[in-house]
Amino acid sequence: MVGQGVLRECLLDPEVKGVLVIGRSALGQHDEKLREIVRRDFTNLSDIAEALRGYDGCFFCLGASSAGMTEAEYRVVTYDLTMDVARTLAKLNPEMTFIYVSGMGADSSARGRVMWARVRGETENALLQLPFKAAYVFRPGYIQPLHGIQSKTKLYRAFYAMLSPIYPAMRRFFPKYVATTEDMGRAMINVVRHGAPRRVLEMGDINDSVSGAS
């Protein structure tokens, strides 16, 4: 959902000149600013290296739930895949700003008891050491989908449908823990443009970035 949200905002933003989406399936969208590369394997991008040059920002929204996975399996899709892509982009675009979508509760110590949080934290730490112009970690909490955006997971779609009626109350009483897909997209674009006061952004920091203030 975050990927869909930031794509929508990029295509609507007149200052964004072009967007390249690399995904596992075709989007089914058409826009003069949009290019797509569809592939199943993200572990080696050397064959498309030339297509990856010249971009100011990367919004890395790829991820998977840890449910039913061993730590080794989750590490492959979370740490190994992310770092393979990020290392390639750092070599091709040293002036790029890289934004990694993690999750609320990720463990920066990478030594905690919760498996997914530990692996996410280790991934965050490694990304922040790469030689990009800048790198930031977004740790969203609850994200309300807007503008027809839906989760690809049936269970999550039911969950969001159930909570949608009470989202206004959640936003009012828990503003530091919720955002919309539109908020996420605007914040990500603004952080590429203007930076942020810290490198790991919790939900309150993300909402503060929606307006574009650094």
Q: Residues 91-146: pLDDT tens digits? A: 999 999 999 999 999 999 999 999 999 999 999 999 999 999 999 999 999 999 99
Q: What is the spatial distance between Cα 156 and Cα 20, in angstroms, rounded to a whole number?
A: 27
CA 20 from chain center: how many Å?
14
Strand 57-60's sheet: what is its strand order? 57-60, 97-101, 134-139, 200-202
Q: What is the spatial distance between Cα 72 and Cα 68, in angstroms, rounded to a whole number?
A: 12
How many Cβ atoms are within 10 Å of 147's Cβ, its own excluded?
13
Q: What is the spatial distance between Cα 5 and Cα 83, in angstroms, rounded to a whole number?
A: 23
Q: Please name each of the domains of the chain with its CATH number.
A: 2-208 (3.40.50.720)
- What is the rounded average pLDDT of the residues 6-31? 94
Yes or no: say if 136 and 99 are a contact pair by the CB < 8 Å rule.
yes
Is 70 exceeded by the pLDDT of residue 19? yes
Count CA atoms closer than 13 A to 31's CA, side-chain side: 20
Q: What is the spatial distance between Cα 115 and Cα 71, in angstroms, rounded to a whole number?
A: 7
- The share of the chain scoring above pLDDT 70, in percent, equals 99
User: Looking at the whole model, is its pTM more than 0.95?
Assistant: no
